[in-house]
Amino acid sequence: MKNIIVHLNKTFDHRVRLGIMSILMVNDWVDFKTLKEMLEVTDGRLASHIKALEAEAFIEVRKQFLGRKPNTSYSATVSGRKAFNDHLDALEKLLKMRD
């Protein structure tokens, strides 16, 4: 039992972080506004969770200008993808175990 728990990644132990990673797994680059609309969270909460994922190098940030407006997009890194997949595998294993 303990063995499997270890594989559940603490960084993903939150709905918003799981949400961010889920979206970034199936899209190349996603901007802040789209993430916000999809996850239905406030700017501040989204920013703090993004920071946490960024600190683990699970996502990378790209800042650019669209015309005059600054636009920040995010993408999952290779290590982020691997960590997220491991996390999902661990979740699946937990579900397959007998009660």
The residue within the footprint of other proteins, chosen from 11, 17, 30, 76 (CB under 8 A), is 30
The side-by-side arrangement of strands in the sheet containing 59-66 is 30-31, 69-76, 59-66
Minimal distance, residue 26 CB to other proteins, in Å: 4
The residue range among 15-23, 45-53, 54-62, 63-71 that interacts with other proteins, by the rule CB under 8 A, is 15-23
The residue range among 17-25, 41-49, 58-66, 74-82 that interacts with other proteins, by the rule CB under 8 A, is 17-25
Q: Does 92 bind other proteins (CB under 8 A)?
A: yes
DSSP H stretches of helix in the chain: 2-7, 15-25, 32-39, 43-55, 78-96
SS3 79: helix
The residue within the footprint of other proteins, chosen from 6, 10, 68, 99 (CB under 8 A), is 99
Question: Residue 85: phi, psi to the nearest 5?
Answer: -60, -40
The residue within the footprint of other proteins, chosen from 19, 47, 52, 54 (CB under 8 A), is 19
